[in-house]
């Protein structure tokens, strides 16, 4: 997002914009200094629009600025608008990291509102640069045109057609780097949010409805392609027409037409008479030929890709200026295009609970809606885990909105479904790092489940679901809640389950009892109450052992492995290393068995962590070479996985690399240690700065200090060292190695 407000762009604000604490009753322009979500300080308003406001905010934890978009709360209560914002999140999540695309970082929710955090781009929009006559020379115009083409190619290769390319949606940094922004319209039609038929009053093609350079309900009249104006299916070639109009505007010195249809005629006029506004360089014939091809009425007669356009302009740049075009061709990792299946396919098989499909089908049935009718509002399932989670969030939102319109109070079944929707939805927010959304959803689930049941025969079912909701809140919200609050939730879970027979063979009940005891054990361990923790973990393991080895419930193998892992960690703290090693060997055996089953994707990262833990134990037991071998086994497992999965395993991967670096450091392999720490820093930085996982700031700071400690003094970034020290000094509990690093940093610098 740019540094100055732009009416065109902000009137087109179809993103899930940010949000303000409900208690803050201040005018939108008077929020400077307000702290959102306990971390983000509003510095100033960047722009307004019909949909909401864009703010410049600074994270206190990261000391980093973001453009934060907040939609008006009244709009987010409307299903179509909320759906549009969630679709935009999904669209942006598919975009690759690219120097010419404005990056989506993360989103957060509070109640019904949504915050979207995007890369902050200081400078201004291309529209502003044209109006301020900051792009007049031929080399500057060609430079911006090439960069926009590169950015469009990256989006297109990720399966996204922008649909609203215009100067107001291109940001220019002070270094004249161009970045495409605002992907709010790129999925609007697919999400069912576009306006009425072309030409109808208030539709995008009603010339009286708005300024032709301002987006109106689905496109910008002055920049749209003919096929977009005629409401036809769009390919990447539609963006090429709009790109051509942006380039034409730079050579014309400003916007002087009414309709995107006018592009070819305006091009001819500029070629014959020169620019309508004084100042810009003359358009070379070779550039005019490129624009002629972009303005072909038949999309298939335009270029095949925007890379072809960029390559041709680079050659023109060389011919016209006598210089080689200076910017390197950017590389990027496009999102996979082989999306597994469309919505119609998975609505037909709705048993996959994490996606919410079964609940959505049931909500449709109860609402008298054919499931097929809702398919147009749903996305296909993507390969990226983050995109997949956002797909699930869209499905849960649709189910929630349908169920809330029914007679919830008078129907136990509907009420239970709604409570479960909120409970499962909290899991998606947890996966996306949205703690406030997690807490809001799980609190709503508990609120519904605590209400009296109309049918006494359903009381046991309600008890089990309420107990599970307490367990979820205690487990998923651990970083944000006190020990006492979490233990109270776990005790409430056990009390609620008291009416269910202890010898029940119900898989869900067994898992619930074991999980509650296991989580409680981990909590007591965190408080140094090791004897109580060990007793709780032993009891949880006994429950899972009976299920797996006594009742043959193999689906609980990973539950058992996770609880034994917790006990092994406790044994290590207690100095009982042989017992910790025995437990770890058992966990590895269990997880290696599970790796041959369909849930292998879930277990692979945990197995790699088990390899790391065993390696560290062996080092403490005096066998560093064996320890290093096990740590590298974990690294190899993570690195052998598909790219999308490896990125989702970043935390485990980074931990393994730090462990490898520390071992190589003590064995005097300085070069290997430096390489391992550098890779770990890169992964932690991505988690913190791009994925919004700020809870990993201490790990990032520690990895930076590990890397700095091996560098020659003159190569150390002192600012990063000081920042890392400040982060770690805020921590409540520091390991001996972290304390050593702090002493080194404070002594050396």
Are the C-beta atoms of 46 and 124 separated by less than 8 Å? Answer: no
Q: State the pLDDT confidence band at 644, using cuts at 50, 70 and 90.
A: low
Position 487 scores a pLDDT of 94
Say yes or no to pLDDT of 271 above 60: yes
Position 381 scores a pLDDT of 55
Position 273 scores a pLDDT of 94
Q: Is the dihedral of CA 741, 742, 744, 749 positive or negative?
A: positive
Please name the CATH architecture into which domain 7-119 falls: 2-Layer Sandwich (3.30)
Average pLDDT, the chain: 83
Position 545 scores a pLDDT of 96
Position 89 scores a pLDDT of 77
Domain residue ranges of the chain, discontinuous segments joined by +: 7-119, 124-321, 341-406
Say yes or no to pLDDT of 154 above 60: yes
Residue 254 neighbours by CB under 8 Å, 6+ apart:
130, 131, 276, 277
Are the C-beta atoms of 243 and 309 separated by less than 8 Å? Answer: yes
Residue-wise pLDDT for 670-729, tens only, equals 999 999 999 999 999 988 887 778 888 999 999 999 999 999 988 999 888 998 998 888
| More reliable by pLDDT, 72 or 494 | 494
Residue-wise pLDDT for 372-394, tens only, equals 666 655 665 555 667 777 878 88
Residue-wise pLDDT for 553-564, tens only, equals 988 999 999 999
| More reliable by pLDDT, 431 or 353 | 431
| Cα–Cα distance, 463 to 454 (Å, whole number) | 14
Calculate mean pLDDT across residues 348-366: 65
Laid out side by side, the sheet with 113-119 consists of 35-36, 40-48, 52-59, 64-71, 113-119, 104-110
Position 199 scores a pLDDT of 32
Position 198 scores a pLDDT of 33
Residue 290 neighbours by CB under 8 Å, 6+ apart:
244, 309, 312, 313, 316
DSSP-derived secondary structure letter, 499? G
Which pTM was predicted? 0.74
CATH superfamily membership of 124-321: Transferase(Phosphotransferase) domain 1 (1.10.510.10)
Say yes or no to pLDDT of 350 above 90: no
Say yes or no to pLDDT of 169 above 60: yes
| Whether the domain at 7-119 and the domain at 124-321 fall into the same CATH topology | no
Position 450 scores a pLDDT of 92
Nearest to 389 by CA among 118, 692, 17, 86: 86
Say yes or no to pLDDT of 67 above 80: yes
Can you count the helices (H) and strands (E) in the chain?
A: 29, 11
CA distances (Å), origin 538, targets 478, 510, 531: 21, 15, 11
Q: What percent of the chain has pLDDT over 70?
A: 84
Residue-wise pLDDT for 397-417, tens only, equals 888 888 988 877 778 888 888
């Amino acid at each position: 997002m740019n540094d100055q407000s732009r009416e065109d762009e902000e009137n087109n604000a179809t993103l899930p914009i940010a949000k303000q604490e409900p208690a803050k009753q201040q005018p939108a322009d008077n929020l400077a200094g307000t702290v959102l979500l306990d971390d983000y300080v509003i510095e100033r308003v960047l722009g307004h629009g019909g949909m909401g406001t864009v703010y410049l905010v600074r994270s206190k934890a990261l000391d980093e600025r973001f453009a934060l978009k907040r939609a008006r709360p009244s709009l987010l209560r409307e299903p179509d608008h909320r759906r549009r914002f969630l679709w935009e999140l999904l669209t942006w999540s598919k975009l690759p990291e690219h120097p010419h695309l404005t990056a989506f970082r993360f989103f957060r929710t509070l109640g019904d509102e949504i915050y979207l955090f995007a890369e902050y781009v200081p400078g201004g929009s291309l529209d502003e640069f044209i109006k301020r006559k900051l792009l007049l020379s031929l080399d500057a115009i060609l430079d911006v045109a090439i960069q926009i083409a590169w950015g469009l190619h990256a989006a297109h290769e990720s399966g996204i057609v922008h649909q609203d390319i215009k100067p107001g949606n291109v940001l220019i940094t002070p270094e004249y780097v161009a970045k495409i922004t605002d992907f709010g319209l790129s999925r609007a039609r697919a999400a069912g949010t576009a306006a009425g038929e072309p030409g109808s009053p208030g539709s995008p093609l009603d010339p009286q409805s708005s300024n032709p350079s301002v987006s109106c309900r689905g496109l910008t009249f002055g920049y749209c392609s003919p096929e977009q104006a005629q409401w036809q299916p769009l390919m990447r070639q539609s963006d090429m027409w709009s790109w051509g109009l942006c380039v034409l505007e730079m050579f014309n010195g400003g916007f002087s037409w009414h309709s995107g249809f006018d592009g070819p005629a305006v091009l001819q006029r500029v070629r014959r008479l020169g620019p309508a506004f004084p100042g810009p360089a003359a358009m070379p014939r070779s550039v005019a030929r490129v624009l002629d091809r972009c303005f072909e009425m038949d999309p298939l007669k335009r270029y095949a890709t925007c890379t072809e356009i960029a390559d041709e302009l680079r050659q023109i740049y060389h011919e016209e200026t006598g210089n080689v075009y200076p910017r390197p061709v950017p590389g990027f990792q496009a999102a996979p295009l082989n999306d597994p299946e469309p919505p119609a396919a998975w609505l037909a098989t709705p048993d996959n609970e994490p996606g919410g499909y079964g609940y959505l089908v049931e909500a449709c049935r109860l609402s008298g809606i054919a499931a097929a009718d809702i398919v147009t509002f749903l996305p296909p399932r993507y390969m990226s885990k983050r995109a997949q989670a956002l797909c699930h969030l869209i499905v849960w939102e649709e189910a929630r909105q349908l169920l809330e319109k029914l007679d919830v109070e008078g129907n136990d079944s509907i009420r239970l479904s709604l409570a479960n929707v909120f409970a499962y939805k909290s899991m998606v927010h947890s996966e996306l790092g949205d703690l406030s959304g997690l807490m809001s959803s799980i609190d709503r689930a508990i609120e519904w489940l605590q209400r009296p049941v109309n049918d006494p025969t359903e009381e046991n079912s309600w008890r089990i679901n309420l107990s599970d909701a307490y367990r979820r809140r205690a487990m998923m919200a651990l970083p944000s809640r006190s020990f006492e609050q979490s233990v109270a939730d776990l005790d409430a879970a056990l009390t609620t389950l008291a009416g269910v027979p202890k010898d029940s063979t119900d898989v869900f009940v067994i898992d619930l009892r074991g999980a509650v005891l296991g989580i409680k054990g981990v909590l007591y361990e965190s408080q140094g109450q090791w004897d109580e923790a060990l007793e709780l973990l032993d009891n949880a393991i006994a429950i899972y052992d009976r299920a797996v080895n006594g009742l043959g419930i193999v689906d609980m193998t990973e539950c058992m492995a996770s609880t034994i892992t917790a006990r092994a960690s406790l044994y290590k703290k207690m100095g009982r290393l042989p017992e910790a090693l025995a437990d770890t060997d058992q966990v590895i055996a269990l997880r290696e068995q599970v790796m041959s089953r369909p849930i292998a994707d879930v277990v692979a990262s945990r197995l790699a962590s088990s390899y790391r833990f065993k390696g560290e134990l062996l080092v403490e037991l005096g066998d560093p070479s064996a320890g290093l071998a096990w740590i590298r086994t974990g690294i190899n497992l993570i690195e052998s996985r598909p790219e999308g999965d490896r990125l989702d395993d970043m935390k485990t991967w980074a931990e393994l690399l730090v462990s490898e670096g520390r071992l190589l450091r003590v064995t005097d392999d300085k070069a290997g240690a430096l390489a391992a720490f550098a890779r770990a820093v890169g992964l932690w930085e991505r988690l913190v700065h791009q994925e919004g996982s700020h809870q990993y700031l201490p790990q990032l700071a520690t990895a930076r200090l590990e890397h700095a400690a091996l560098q020659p003094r003159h190569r150390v970034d002192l600012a990063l060292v000081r920042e890392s020290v400040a982060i770690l000094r805020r921590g409540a509990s520091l390991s001996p190695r972290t304390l050593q690093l702090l002493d080194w940093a404070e002594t050396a610098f």
